[in-house]
Amino acid sequence: MTQTQRPQQHTPYRSANRLSNRQLFTIELGLYLLAELLPTAPPGSLPTLLNGDLPPNSTTWTARQRRCLDRGRMLLGSLCQRSGWNDLLDRYAQLATAQQAFDISHDRSQFNAKTVGFFRNRAFTFRQMLA
């Protein structure tokens, strides 16, 4: 190697299906918000929530829940398009289960937060961001 050549960088191949750390954080923050406000809703319903198409029972939300929704809209505004959210959910579902903080059913009808140790740390971060 001469002095003018740059060393080759050995970066791993990044496939189109991989998620960046930011995308992973965004997905899990969205799922956390959905679990806080509409725990029985399917995971694909986040864009509906962010767009303001609120269910009838949303009038009984507490001030904390409304504040949570407002902050979620600010942080997750890029997910208002259903196609973008569904694409991220597809990619999230392909991750190794050890990397996922949420279990999503194969038919996408429900999702649940995992109860493993690392999820508690992530949930604490999400709670602080939306508080």
Type of residue found at 54: L
Per-residue confidence at 58, pLDDT binned at 50, 70, 90? low
Q: Please indicate, yes or no, whether the overall pTM of this predicted structure exceeds 0.85.
A: no
> pLDDT by residue (tens digit) across 11-25?
443 445 688 888 998
Whole-angstrom Cα distance, residue 91 to residue 5?
Answer: 37
What is the phi-psi region of residue 11: left when phi exceeds 0, alpha when psi lies from -120 to 50, beta otherwise?
beta
Whole-angstrom Cα distance, residue 109 to residue 61?
Answer: 23
Per-residue confidence at 131, pLDDT binned at 50, 70, 90? confident
2 has pLDDT over 60: no
The tokens 């959210």 sit on which residue? 85
120 has pLDDT over 80: no
pLDDT of residue 10: 43
Phi, psi at residue 51, to the nearest 5°? -80, -5
Whole-angstrom Cα distance, residue 131 to residue 113?
Answer: 19
Q: Where are the domains of the chain?
A: 21-130
